């Protein structure tokens, strides 16, 4: 049916904007290829509205699947989770409509990359909450999928959204600037809060958004702390206490033995990047407090080194440089690391890069939870021969974002083993109550054993039927 739909779109749209697929584009995760009949490249909101209205008029099945830059690596990239979809490529919606330094917001479109936006803010007192992914990733796209930046989870940066609904109407929800008014940057307003309704959903097509700009701190420092694997549980419990007491300003990152080898750190050690920022006097006081805490830990930790130390051994390390810059909203090292890790540029990763899969669960911020996670990794290694690497990101003093990565050669046997490992990750972590907060294209929400998912499913299905009664938008990873 989707082939008829793409033909219908070809008849009614500028032919150069419509691409009929013979073969589904590759993705670096080597997920099962769904049947995709084609792609429409859009460059204006009017085009999006036109396409949605044509879908509403079409006498047959439709399945519009929008994406921004398409760099959702390890989770499926541009691949839709279901068959018979027509992709909407929103890269051409790439305007920065407004940057307001004084009030602290920017109005952007989905094709605006975090690299472009971050560069616009250099040498100002504002910056953005960047992720450790490519500079070429979409800021809005990542935020809508609840990606994690170096300061906090990206959904916290969303103030307002502009949406095309399935009936072809354009709406704005949340906070938007008003001429002549200087209202507080508060996304919820009064009554039901709708911004988050359109994150991780297929209820509409996002064509723009208002994002929060952060105040650039007077001083920033990063502490590098190393410890041995046998002290992992102790270290995590210690970091939780430090976080609860305000000794961490941003997302603390812990790289395990597997990931540190990838990044060139010492073999057999965990490496921590712990950020401090604020007024110079505050950072100085916190630095002293952290050094005192480090001494108290005795032999549980191996070393503590500051990024601004003249004897810093990590000063030439790409990951360390990336993290230092990223905490301050600068993406200049991002794609250098990607090319080193995957052997190619962002534009070629899906076609030519080494295999790469992500699994992204949330865990309680406890040493016991992390210990259980690594027991699961050991079990998976015994079953598949695949050693999962992980970065531990602390989102608060209660929550850990565990970024689990699987790297593999893109040959049949290695692909099969990698996806077997991914299946086991989903099974074992869900059985422990460690549910993913982002999903890949082969593990839809409908298959989740999360109790919350089951409770909320009926409400979400009702909303989908109300807002999209004809099923114009493709079912997604987050469909019930």
Cα separation, 120 vs 100, in Å, equals: 11
Q: Which of 54, 71, 89 represents a domain boundary (last residue)?
A: 89
- Residue 266: pLDDT above 80? no
For residues 342 and 135, the model is more confident at: 135
Got the DSSP string for 319-381? Answer: HHHHHHHHTTT--TTHHHHHHHHHSS-GGGHHHHSPEEEEEEEEEESSHHHHHHHHHHHHHHH
28 and 121 assigned to the same domain: no
Query: What CATH number is given to the structural domain containing 134?
Result: 3.30.465.10
- Please check whether residue 451 lies inside any domain of the structure: no
What confidence score (pLDDT) does residue 447 get?
Answer: 65
What confidence score (pLDDT) does residue 24 get?
Answer: 73
Cα separation, 466 vs 131, in Å, equals: 34
Lowest mean pLDDT among 114-118, 226-230, 448-452, 466-470: 448-452
196 and 281 assigned to the same domain: no
Is the CA virtual torsion 450, 452, 454, 458 positive or negative? negative
Q: Are 317 and 264 in contact (CB under 8 A)?
A: yes
381 and 312 assigned to the same domain: yes
Q: Residue 67: which pLDDT band, with cuts at 50, 70 and 90?
A: very high
164 and 272 assigned to the same domain: no
Q: Are 157 and 129 in contact (CB under 8 A)?
A: yes
| 32-65 b/e (C-beta count within 10 Å ≥ 16 → b) | eebebbbbbbbbebebbbbbbbbbeebeeebbbb
- Please check whether residue 247 lies inside any domain of the structure: yes
269 and 376 assigned to the same domain: yes
C-alpha separations of 213 from 106, 142, 156, 176, 216 in Å: 7, 16, 11, 14, 9
Q: Are 276 and 290 in contact (CB under 8 A)?
A: yes
228 and 297 assigned to the same domain: yes
Cα separation, 436 vs 148, in Å, equals: 13
Q: What value does the mean pLDDT take over residues 365-391?
A: 96
377 and 287 assigned to the same domain: yes
What confidence score (pLDDT) does residue 316 get?
Answer: 83
- Please check whether residue 459 lies inside any domain of the structure: no
428 and 389 assigned to the same domain: yes
**Range of the structural domain that residue 228 is part of:** 219-438
- Residue 472: pLDDT above 90? yes
- Residue 407: pLDDT above 50? yes
- Residue 437: pLDDT above 90? yes
Q: Are 112 and 140 in contact (CB under 8 A)?
A: yes
Query: What CATH number is given to the structural domain containing 30?
Result: 3.30.43.10
- Give me the percent of the chain exceeding a pLDDT of 90: 73
Which is nearest to 334 in space by CA: 350, 346, 316? Answer: 346
- Please check whether residue 461 lies inside any domain of the structure: no
Helix, coil or strand: residue 447: helix
197 and 242 assigned to the same domain: no
Q: Find where tokens 């095309």 sit.
A: 164
192 and 290 assigned to the same domain: no
Residue 174 region, left (φ>0) first, then alpha (ψ -120 to 50), else beta?
Answer: left
Q: Residue 261: which pLDDT band, with cuts at 50, 70 and 90?
A: low
Q: Are 477 and 445 in contact (CB under 8 A)?
A: yes
- Please check whether residue 384 lies inside any domain of the structure: yes
The encoded tokens of residue 275 equal 């950020």
The encoded tokens of residue 439 equal 């999903």
Cα separation, 393 vs 403, in Å, equals: 7
Q: What value does the mean pLDDT take over residues 244-259?
A: 90
Which is it for strands 85-89 and 158-164: parallel, antiparallel or unpaired?
unpaired
161 and 242 assigned to the same domain: no
- Please check whether residue 296 lies inside any domain of the structure: yes
H or E segment to which residue 206 belongs: strand 205-212
Q: Which of 59, 89, 119 represents a domain boundary (last residue)?
A: 89
Cα separation, 36 vs 443, in Å, equals: 18
Question: Which tens digit of pLDDT belongs to each residue from 197-248?
Answer: 999 999 999 999 999 999 999 999 999 999 999 999 999 999 999 999 999 9
Residues 6+ apart with CB under 8 A from 470: 55, 56, 62, 166
- Please check whether residue 65 lies inside any domain of the structure: yes
Task: Domain count for the chain, please give it.
Answer: 3
Q: Residue 268: which pLDDT band, with cuts at 50, 70 and 90?
A: confident
What residue ranges in 55-204 does DSSP mark as E strands? 64-67, 85-89, 96-100, 105-108, 126-127, 158-164, 170-174
Query: What CATH number is given to the structural domain containing 406?
Result: 3.40.462.10
Q: Find where tokens 């060139």 sit.
A: 264
- Residue 317: pLDDT above 90? no
- Residue 332: pLDDT above 60? yes
60 and 167 assigned to the same domain: no
Report the chain's mean pLDDT, rounded to a whole number: 91
Q: Are 157 and 146 in contact (CB under 8 A)?
A: no
What confidence score (pLDDT) does residue 264 get?
Answer: 47
């Amino acid at each position: 049916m989707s082939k008829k739909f793409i033909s219908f779109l070809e008849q009614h749209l500028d032919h150069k904007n419509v691409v009929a697929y013979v073969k589904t584009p590759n993705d670096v995760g080597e997920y099962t290829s769904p049947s995709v009949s084609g792609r429409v490249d859009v460059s204006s909101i009017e085009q999006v509205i036109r396409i949605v209205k044509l879908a509403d008029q079409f006498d047959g099945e439709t399945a519009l699947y929008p994406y921004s830059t398409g760099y959702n690596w390890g989770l499926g990239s541009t691949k839709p989770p279901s068959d018979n979809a027509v992709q909407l490529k929103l890269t051409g919606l790439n305007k920065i409509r407004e940057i307001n330094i004084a009030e602290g917001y920017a109005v952007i479109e989905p094709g605006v990359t975090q690299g472009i936006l971050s560069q616009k803010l250099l040498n100002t007192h504002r910056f953005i909450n960047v992720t450790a992914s490519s500079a070429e990733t979409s800021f809005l796209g990542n935020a809508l999928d609840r990606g994690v930046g170096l300061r906090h989870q990206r959904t916290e940066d969303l103030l307002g959204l502009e949406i095309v609904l399935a009936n072809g109407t354009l709406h704005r929800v949340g906070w938007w600037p008003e001429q002549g008014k200087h209202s507080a940057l508060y996304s919820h307003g009064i009554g039901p809060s709708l911004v988050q309704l359109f994150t991780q959903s297929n209820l509409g097509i996002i064509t723009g958004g208002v994002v929060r700009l952060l105040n650039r701190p007077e001083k920033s420092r990063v502490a590098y702390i190393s410890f041995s694997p046998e002290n992992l549980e102790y270290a995590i419990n210690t970091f939780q206490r430090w976080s609860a007491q305000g000794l961490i300003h941003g997302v603390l990152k812990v790289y395990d033995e597997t990931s540190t080898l990838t990044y060139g750190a010492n073999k057999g050690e965990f490496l921590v990047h712990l950020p401090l920022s604020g007024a110079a006097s505050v950072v100085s006081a916190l630095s002293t407090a952290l050094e005192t805490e480090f001494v108290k830990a005795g032999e549980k930790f191996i070393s503590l080194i500051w990024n601004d130390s003249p004897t810093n051994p990590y000063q030439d390390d790409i990951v360390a440089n990336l993290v230092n810059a990223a905490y301050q909203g600068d993406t200049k090292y991002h794609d250098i690391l990607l090319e080193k890790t995957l052997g190619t540029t962002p534009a070629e990763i899906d076609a030519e890069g080494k295999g790469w899969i992500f699994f992204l669960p949330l865990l309680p911020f406890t040493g016991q939870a992390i210990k259980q996670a690594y027991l699961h990794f050991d079990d998976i290694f015994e079953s598949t021969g695949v050693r999962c690497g992980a970065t531990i990101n602390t989102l608060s003093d209660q929550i850990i974002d565990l970024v689990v990565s699987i790297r593999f050669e893109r040959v049949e046997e290695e692909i099969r083993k990698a996806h077997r490992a991914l299946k086991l990750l989903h099974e074992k972590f869900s059985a422990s109550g460690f549910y993913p907060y982002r999903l890949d294209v082969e593990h839809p929400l409908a298959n989740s054993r999360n109790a919350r998912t089951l409770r909320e499913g009926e409400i979400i299905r009702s909303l989908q039927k109300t807002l999209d009664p004809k099923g114009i938008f493709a079912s997604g990873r987050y469909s019930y």
